[in-house]
Structure 1
Amino acid sequence: MTADIRTKKLINAPENIISEMIAGMVSAHPDILSVEGPTGRAVVAVDGPRDGKVGIVIGGGSGHEPAFAGYVGRGLADAAAVGNVFASPSPEQIMDAARAVDGGAGVMFLYGNYTGDVLNFDMAAEECEGMGIPTKSVQVIDDVASAPKERQNERRGIAGDFFVFKIAGAAAEHGRDLEACYAAAQAANANTRSMGVALTACSMPQTGKLNFHLGHDEMEIGMGVHGEPGIRRGRLENADAVTDELMQPILDDMGLTEGDKVAVLVNGLGATGQLELYIIHRRVAEILGEKGIDIHHSWVGEYVSSLEMAGASITLLKLDDDLQLLLDTPCRTPGLTVAGSLEPKGTRTRRHEDTAKEVTAVDTSKLNTDGPITPAMFKDMMLAAGAAIHEKRDWLSELDGVIGDGDHGVTMDIGWTAVRGKLVTDDNEKTISQTCEIMAKAFLDAVGASSGPLYASAFRKAGEAVSDRWNLDAGAMVAWVDGLCAGILARGGAQVGDKTMIDAWVPAVAKAKEALADNADAIGCLAAATEGAKSGRDYTAEIESRRGRSAKLGARSIGHVDPGAASAHVMLEAITAAAKKALG
Structure 2
Amino acid sequence: MTKTKKLINAPEDIIPQLIRGMVAAHPDMLCVEGGTGRAIVAVDGPRDGKVGVVVGGGSGHEPAFAGYVGRGLADAAAVGNIFASPSPEQILDAARASDGGAGVLFLYGNYTGDVMNFTMAAEELEAEGTRVRQVQVADDIASAPKDRRSERRGIAGDFFVFKIAGAAADLGEPLSRVEALARKANDATLSMGVALGACSLPQTGKPNFEIGDDEMEIGMGLHGEPGIRREKLATADQVTDELLGAILSEMQPDSGARVAVLVNGLGSTSLVELYIIFDRLKQVLDEKDIEIHYSWVGEYATSLEMAGASITLMKLDDELTRLLDHPCRTPALTVGAIEGATAGSARSMRKAAASSDATKTTQSPRKLQQGGVITPQIFRHMMGRAGDEIIAHRDWLSELDGVIGDGDHGVTMEIGWKAVQAALDNAPEDETIEGSCKRMAKAFLDAVGASSGPLYATAFLRAGAAVGDRLNLDAAALAAWLAAALQGVRDRGRAEPGDKTMIDAWVPAVQAAQKAAANGTEHDVINAARNGAETGMKATADLESRRGRSAKLGARSVGHIDPGAASTWVTLRAMASALEETLAET
Q: TM-score range by the shorter chain?
A: over 0.9
Give the unaligned 5+ runs of structure 1.
Answer: none
Correspondences of 1:185-264 after superposition (within 5 Å): 185-264=182-261
| Partner deviation per Cα, 1:472-511 (whole Å, 9 max, x = no partner) | 1000111111111011011110000000000000100001
Output the CA distance in 1 between the equivalents of 2:245 and 2:527.
Answer: 54
SS in 2 for 1:57: strand
1:552-583 deviations in whole A, cap 9, x for unaligned?
A: 11110000000000000000000000000000
- How far the C-alpha of 1:347 sits from its partner, in A, is 4.4
Q: 1:281 aligned to 2:281?
A: no
1:196 counterpart SS class: strand
Whole-angstrom CA distance in 2 between matches of 1:393 and 1:341: 47
- AA aligned to 1:536 is G
Distance 2:312 2:430 in 1: 55
Q: C-alpha distance in 2, partners of 1:10/1:347?
A: 37
C-alpha spacing 1:231/1:295, structure 2 compared with 1 (3 Å)? same
Tell me the CA shift for residue 349 of structure 1: 1.4
* AA aligned opposite 2:268: A
One-letter amino acid of the structure 2 residue matched with residue 339 of structure 1: G
Q: Residues 358 and 399 (structure 1 numbering): CA distance in 2 closer, same or farther, change over 3 Å?
A: closer
Match runs of 1:419-438 below 5 Å = 419-438=420-439
Please report how far the alpha carbon of residue 343 of structure 1 lies from its aligned counterpart in structure 2 after TM superposition. 3.5
- Give the CA deviation at 1:363: 4.6
In 2, Cα distance between equivalents of 1:534 and 1:164: 43
Report the secondary structure of 2:134's partner residue: strand
Aligned partners of 1:400 and 1:407 also within 8 Å: yes
| CA drift at 1:248 | 1.0
Q: Which residue of 2 aligns with 1:356?
A: 357
Q: TM-score, normalised by structure 2?
A: 0.98
Q: TM-score, normalised by structure 1?
A: 0.98
* Equivalent residue runs for 1:317-356 within 5 Å: 317-344=314-341, 345-352=345-352, 353-356=354-357
CA shift for structure 1 position 515: 1.0
User: Which residue number in structure 2 is paired with residue 174 of structure 1?
Assistant: 171
The Cα of 1:283 is off from its aligned counterpart by: 0.6
How is 1:375-386 mapped onto 2 (pairs within 5 angstroms)? 375-386=376-387
CA distance in 1, matches of 2:490, 2:428: 33
Pairing of 1:122-201 with structure 2 (within 5 A): 122-201=119-198
Verify the 8 A CA contact 1:49 1:348 in the aligned structure 2.
Answer: no
Matched, 1:118 2:119: no
SS at match of 2:555: helix
Task: For structure 2, list consecutive stretches of 5 or more residues without a partner in the other structure.
Answer: none
**Does residue 1:539 correspond to 2:536, yes or no?**
no
Give the whole-Å Cα distance in 2 for the aligned partners of 1:22 and 1:242. 35
CA distance in 2, matches of 1:9, 1:219: 24
Aligned match of 1:529: 529
CA deviation string 1:507-549 (max 9, x = no partner): 00001111112x1100111000000000100110001000000
Q: Give secondary structure in 2 for the equivalent of 1:82.
A: strand
In structure 2, what is the Cα distance between the partners aligned to 1:428 and 1:31?
Answer: 48
2:407 counterpart residue number: 406
RMSD: 0.9
Equivalent residue number for residue 34 of structure 1 = 31
Partner of residue 73, structure 1:
70
Distance 1:484 1:195 in 2: 38
Distance 2:478 2:64 in 1: 44
**Structure 2: which amino acid aligns with 1:520?**
G
The CA distance in 2 between the partners of 1:342 and 1:252, in whole Å, is 41
2:300 matched residue in structure 1: 303
Deviation at 1:361, TM superposition (A): 2.0
Kindly indicate whether the alpha-carbon contact (under 8 Å) linking 1:58 and 1:79 is maintained by their aligned counterparts in 2.
Answer: yes
The 2-side partners of 1:568 and 1:358 are apart by 25
Other-structure match for 1:579: 579
- The equivalent position to 1:95 in structure 2, one of 92, 105, 129, is 92
* Displacement after TM superposition at 1:128 (Å): 1.0
Aligned to 1:462: 463
2:453 aligns to what?
A: 452
Query: Conserved in 2, the CA contact under 8 Å of 1:116 and 1:448?
Result: yes
Paired residue type of 1:296: H
The secondary structure found in structure 2 opposite 1:199 is strand
Deviation for aligned residue 1:255 = 1.1
Percent of aligned positions that are identical? 64
Structure 2: distance between partners of 1:162 and 1:428: 50
Task: Tell me, in whole angstroms, the C-alpha distance in 1 between the residues paired with 2:32 and 2:502.
Answer: 35
Give the Å deviation of 1:210.
0.8
Kept in 1, the 8 Å contact 2:427–2:436? The answer is no
Q: Deviations over 1:365-411 (max 9, x none)?
A: 50011000010110000000000000000100000000000010001
